[in-house]
Chains A and B, each alone.
Chain A
């Protein structure tokens, strides 16, 4: 086992005093390279908070997040965007594509942030769209795409920066059963093909068959 992301004794508390809510309570979890990890649990169990902490979007109240063996949770806030850009790719439940940009341009945003030149950006964006089977829709705007197509573009965007880890928050939440399964397979296949680790937060039972490991979260704590 080769750990790429570790959370050690993570606690996240929102608010203070009598209004304090413990969203994640003393969670320790390791994500290994090439692994697809599924985090399941009921609504409000802290799954998304845990994913946000793993994705260096949220700072834990207590505990450590280690990426490639280095503690990143104690780094200054302004270093988090660089970590996200360099090592992490995100897939969101609501796709979160930029509505005024075409499918190709949505992918190009990440490549621009990575500092690639114009030629590389164009070629790579098209290659990624081809991978997700949407080369013909490169110039379509998100509103012209179906939910499944939008999520495919979102997966391509998540892969664009060549991250080590893909974090997906309820990636099938807004999709029908068949399309949801296709998206999960797409994420898993890409992860296996390019050697990426994946964390999926989902209630979707279909995800269980695709994950290498499943953990359950309840009231902010890992079960079992």
Chain B
């Protein structure tokens, strides 16, 4: 047809996605918001696990003194990070599913694929595990001789 572009359904969908995400800047704004959220979430989890580690340094020292290897203690810390990730993910997912209904009522259709939830879980898990890494350094340097000091 003259003066008209013709697209297949898939092509038009792709073009629309590119328009909204790239040309309008919405995609970048959304990406930056998501990145900042991950950074803030990771910092909070990291600080919480670090504070918990500092609070329990004496117990970690005792564990080392009675024969635990650093890697046994890392397991404890990373398990805490894993549990935090799972709880956070579950609460977040429930929240998303609850607000989806409201958003759809407002006229915006929200498509949430199962793969998105899987990817999201691994992003959260990775963020929590990386955040726990600061605590691991503290425990690695912990000298078990401290348990003899009162």
- Report which A residues bind B (CB closer than 8 A): 48, 51-52, 55, 57-58, 78, 81-82, 84-86, 88-90, 92-94, 96, 98-99, 109-110, 113, 157, 161, 169
A78-B69, A81-B69, A93-B150 known; A109 and B63 CB under 8 Å? yes
Chain B residues in 8 Å Cβ range of A93:
148, 150
The smallest C-beta distance from B125 to any residue of chain A, in angstroms, reads 24
Chain A contacts for B147, CB-based, 8 A: 90, 92, 96
* Interchain residue pairs with CB less than 8 A apart (22): A52-B145, A52-B148, A57-B144, A81-B69, A82-B67, A84-B67, A85-B68, A86-B67, A89-B66, A92-B148, A94-B150, A96-B62, A98-B62, A99-B59, A109-B66, A110-B66, A113-B67, A113-B68, A113-B72, A157-B66, A161-B67, A169-B148
Most chain B C-beta atoms within 10 Å of own C-beta, residue among A52, A55, A81, A109: A81
Closest CB of chain B to A57's CB: distance in Å? 5
Please give 8 more A-B residue pairs, beta carbons under 8 A apart, in addition to A90-B147, A92-B147.
A82-B69, A84-B65, A85-B66, A89-B66, A90-B66, A92-B148, A93-B150, A94-B150
Given known A-B contacts A94-B150, A113-B72, A57 and B67 have beta carbons under 8 A apart: no
User: At the interface, yes or no: B138 with Cβ under 8 Å from chain A?
Assistant: no
Known: A52-B145, A98-B59, A113-B72. A81 touches B64 (CB 8 A): yes
Contact B150 A58 (CB under 8 A): no
When distances are taken between beta carbons in the complex, the residues of chain A under 8 Å from B148 are 48, 51-52, 57, 92-93, 169
Q: What is the minimal beta-carbon distance from A159 to any residue of chain B, in angstroms?
A: 12
Please determine whether A90 and B150 come into contact, CB atoms closer than 8 angstroms. no
B58 within 8 A of A: yes
- Bound: A113/B66 CA distance, A: 9
Q: Give the A-B contact count at a CB cut-off of 8 A.
A: 56
Q: For A161, list chain B residues within 8 Å (CB).
A: 66-67
A94 to B150, alpha carbons, bound, how many Å? 6
A70 to B128, CA, bound (A): 44
Q: List the A side residues contacting B63 at CB < 8 Å.
A: 109
**B13-42 interface (Cβ within 8 A of A):** none
Beta-carbon contacts of B116-148 to A below 8 Å, as 1s and 0s?
000000000000000000000000000011011
8 closest A-B pairs (Cβ-Cβ)? A85-B67, A84-B67, A96-B62, A81-B69, A48-B148, A52-B145, A81-B67, A57-B145
**Cα-based distance from A96 to B150 in the complex (angstroms):** 10
Q: Could you say which residues of chain A place their CB within 8 Å of the CB of B144?
A: 57
B147 CB, nearest partner CB in chain A, Å: 6
CB-defined contacts of A52 to chain B, threshold 8 Å:
145, 148
Assembled-state Cα–Cα distance A8/B100 (Å): 73
Contacts of A113 in B (CB 8 A): 66-68, 72
Min CB gap B115→A, angstroms: 37
Docked-complex contact B145 and A96, CB < 8 angstroms: no
Contacts of A85 in B (CB 8 A): 66-68
Docked complex Cα distance between A130 and B150 (Å): 28
For the complex formed, measure the closest distance between the CB of B51 and the CB atoms of chain A, giving whole angstroms: 15
**Cα–Cα distance between A89 and B144 once the two chains are bound (Å):** 14
Q: How far is the CB of A77 from chain B (nearest CB, A)?
A: 10
Q: Considering the chains assembled together, what is the distance between the CA atoms of A72 and B145 in angstroms?
A: 17
